[in-house]
Structure 1
Amino acid sequence: MLIFFFATLITSQLSATAQTGPLKVALAGLSHDHVYLLMQHYKQGEVDIIGIAESDPALINKFKKNYHLADSLFYKDLSTLLKHKKPEVVMAFDPNSAHLSVVKICAPFHVDVMVEKPLATTVKDAEQIVSLAEKYHIQVLTDYETSWYASNQTLYSQVKADQIGDIRKMVAHDGHQGPKEIGCSPEFLSWLTDPKTNGAGALFDFGCYGANLMTWLMDGKAPLAVYATTRHIKPDIYPRVDDDATIVLDFPKATGIIEASWNWPYNIKDLEVFGKTGYLQAVDPNTLRERKGKESDFSIKKLDVPVAPFQNYVAYVTSVLRGQLKPGNDLSSLQNNLIVVKILSAARQSAKEGRKIYLK
């Protein structure tokens, strides 16, 4: 009996240690350039990478050399990795079109998943991901850079505290000079500029940010209809996909306008919200511009990093997977991101057919 007691105590202590140490992560793919931010978290000891599924020898050698990764970390595919390792989460840094395949492999192993935005390239894939997550009781979270902006978090809190009245209009600007122009890796560009693997061009790459934020502000409700136009301004650089998009979302009492582009003179990710009695603009990660009530001018606030665990995706994912936070309608939640894919898919159809698409 005493031996059993000590064995139970040791097991409990080991379990507690596992739940308080760095997040145990396996990587599915290395071709998405956002993986480099994850590698910074790894270098700082905030995650423990216990396995990497990657088949490209050049990418494997690149990461081994740059981050001093052991040969034993690498596996030819994700299924083989999960037969040998038990991560807390698989983080997918592969093409958007591969996200469903990652979830199909992870779900039977009861391993949670984080993907880079957007969740999927088609509504069918997104719905299958939701079905698998429900069947196997796993989390599937989606990472957006803008989720961790103090400005967006503060803007949302003020809207929900009724500081600017009912929302009338939302405008999101998201874009930069273009993925090739800013120096994205060849591996990333190869699928980012492919309509099958990315879903579209700027329409999906940057349109997803505004769709995600507006769904959040609308309490997880989808728009009634979507209308979109796309442009092909640089066909010599991006021959297969759009490089500029405008999406209009019709809500019962509000309008959302998403401007997404690979043609802007600099990087921009901002969000404007016009309420019945006030205005808020998340200018950049740490700047909020506002004007409320009878104020005669705008005020600008400089903000600190968001309150934990909303400072970055590693902190957030760790908190969710260890039972400290429920995603609900958070920006990373499945509920939100299924709607995002529906918006993007309708926008793609609208741009192709030249008409407004009504969502079911």
Structure 2
Amino acid sequence: MKQFLYLPVLMAITHLPLAAQDDPLRIAVIGLTHTHVHWIFESEKRGEIQIIGIVEPNWDLAGRYAAQHGFSPEKVYNSAEDLLAAQKPEAVAAFGTIYAHLEVVETFAPLGIHVMVEKPLAVSLDHARRMAELAREHGIHLLTNYETTWYPTNHRVFQMAKEEDAIGPLRKVVVRDGHKGPKQISVNSEFLEWLTDPDLNGGGALMDFGCYGANLVTWLMEGEKPRRVMALTAQLQPENNPKVEDEAVILLEYDTAVAVIHGSWNWPIGRKDIEVYGTRGALFADNRHALRLRVATGYDTFREEALVLPERPAPLDDPFAYFRAVVRGEITPGPYALSSLENNLMVMELLDAAQRSASTGRAIDLRE
């Protein structure tokens, strides 16, 4: 059953106060059921953003988070309508169901309020296209946040592979993201309720973790659309994930390269890593900070350089600091930057094709 938590608001905000360039971004949090929301409360302590309101009709959940993060219950509103009657946000960050992302954009875009959503962009390709249409019509930024966007290793991989020609022309990308499953890692009940619901999350592991790989590969391939998409999915924990797949493998065929994306709720140890192979060598981003470069010296021999990278400089180390910089005009995202709308529309096209391939057992041609 679909849940509508946030009422569309048809009023117009015509007198938003002009923010000084160095003022924190006035942001509202829309929903608390996505546990990535802890990130924004921690980020607020840096000073780049100010959380001026929270929309969450579940007052028990809101109370628990208020106690944990020290915000006043007076900041919490039942609906977007109540929030906007009392506050004037410059931007909102969505932390409800993926299905609710469209409603958030429908509510705030017409008011000129910028939106950041947690990955993936939308519950379906149709929702994603409607969200993009609204964002463009009303001139707002619509960004998508992934944990891996802020990994210094991923950015160094891009720099070495694409700008420094450290491994030769790209031939293969392998991305692996996952853990042992939402129930197995004990996510709270409010998150589990929709994360394993195909209507509210769009699917299971294919959407939840396949989106990371689709995002990174689209970035590395600079927006190139693959010729074909093939996928298989499996349900290996029916007792824990009865409605959705918990294992997904997605294959992408490009003109001069291939990509393999693994999204899993079955790995005993959580992981988010990427391998990039060129004609002369390979790059291995093992986690957020550890990176290895291997350059071939023979059939199975190589020279290896291991790097441990520090965090990227502000505001490139934090999604909400970055969001502020984009809204303020200090940063203009490239057309296929990791958070960009263009990249994440492609992500949704790839995930849609992967779902169709998995259900039919056939490759999906994206260039027909």
TM-score normalised per structure 2: 0.91
- Alignment map for 1:120-269 (pairs within 5 Å): 120-161=122-163, 162-269=165-272
Select the residue among 340, 345, 350 that pairs with 1:343.
350
- Out of 305, 314, 323, the position equivalent to 1:308 is 314
2:283 to 273, 280, 285: 280
Amino acid at match of 1:61: G
Rounded to whole Å, the distance in 2 between the matches of 1:15 and 1:28 is 22
Greater shift, 159-168 or 327-336, is seen at 159-168
Structure 2 gap segments, 5+ residues each: 1-16
Work out which of the residue numbers 64, 78, 86 in structure 2 matches 1:62.
64
How far did 1:50 drift? 0.5
The code of the aligned residue for 2:228 comes to: A
Partner AA of 1:117 in structure 2:
K
The normalised TM-score by structure 1 is: 0.93
Q: Distance in 2 between matches of 1:158 and 1:304?
A: 16
- 2:289–2:309 CA contact under 8 A, matched in 1: yes
> Larger helix proportion, structure 1 or 2?
1
Q: Which structure 2 residues correspond to residues 6-17 of structure 1 after superposition, within 5 A?
A: 15=18
Runs of 4+, deviation exceeding 6 Å: none
Cα offset, 1:43, TM superposition: 4.2
Gaps of 5+ in 1: 1-13
CA deviation after TM superposition for structure 1 residue 192, in Å: 0.4
| Cα displacement (A) at 1:15 | 4.8
Cα distance in 1 for residues equivalent to 2:74 and 2:33: 20
Query: What is the alpha-carbon distance in structure 2 between the residues aligned to residue 99 and residue 185 of structure 1?
Result: 20
The 3-state SS of whatever aligns with 1:219 is coil
> Which is worse superposed, 52-61 or 277-286?
52-61
Paired residues of 2:296 and 2:303 also in contact (CA < 8 A): no
The separation in 1 between residues aligned to 2:197 and 2:257, in whole angstroms, is 33
Amino acid aligned to 2:317: Q
Of the structure 1 ranges 79-88 and 275-284, higher mean CA displacement relative to structure 2 is found in: 79-88
SS of equivalent residue, structure 2 residue 302: coil
Please say if residues 48 and 324 of structure 2, whose CA atoms lie closer than 8 Å, have aligned partners that are also in contact. Answer: no
Q: Could you tell me how far 1:180 is from its partner in structure 2?
A: 1.2
* Amino acid across the alignment from 1:100: L
After superposition, the C-alpha distances for 1:328-357 in whole angstroms (9 at most, x for unaligned) are: 221000000000011111111111111111
Can you list the C-alpha shifts for 1:103-123, whole angstroms capped at 9, x where unaligned? 000011100000000001111
Contact 2:62 2:73 in 1 (8 A): no
Give the conservation status (yes or no) of the 8 Å contact 1:79–1:105. Answer: no
The equivalent of 2:95 in structure 1 is: 93
Structure 2 contact 43–318 (Cα < 8 Å) conserved: no
Query: Retained in 1: the 8 A contact 2:56–2:62?
Result: yes
Q: Name the residue aligned to 2:76.
A: 74
Kept in 2: contact 1:250–1:256 (CA 8 A): yes
**Are residues 1:325 and 2:331 paired?**
yes
In 1, Cα distance between equivalents of 2:277 and 2:128: 31
- Write the distance in 2 (CA, Å) between the matches of 1:287 and 1:71: 41
1:31 aligns with 2:33: yes
Q: For 2:316 and 2:45, how far apart are their aligned partners in 1?
A: 20
Q: Is the 8 A contact 2:63 2:73 kept in 1?
A: no
The answer as to whether partners of 2:177 and 2:271 remain within 8 angstroms in 1 is yes
Q: Tell me which residue corresponds to 2:302.
A: 296
Q: Counterparts of 1:60 and 1:88 in 2: how far apart (Å)? A: 22
Q: Identity, % of aligned pairs?
A: 44
One-letter code aligned to 2:88: K
**Letter of the 2:123 counterpart:** T
Q: 2:112 aligns with which of 110, 113, 133?
A: 110
Question: What is the aligned length?
Answer: 346
| Pairwise CA distance, 1:82 | 2.4
TM-superposed deviation, 1:83? 3.5
Task: Give the secondary-structure state (helix, strand or coil) at the position aligned to 1:124.
Answer: helix
Distance 2:65 2:294 in 1: 47
Larger deviation, residues 124-133 vs 293-302: 293-302
Paired AA for residue 188 in structure 1: F
Offset of residue 65 of structure 1: 2.5
> What secondary structure is seen at the aligned counterpart in 2 of 1:34?
helix
Residues 82 and 109 in structure 1, CA contact (< 8 A), matched pair in contact too: no
**SS across alignment from 2:303:** coil
The residue type equivalent to 1:266 in the other structure is I
Question: Offset of 1:160 from its aligned partner?
Answer: 1.6
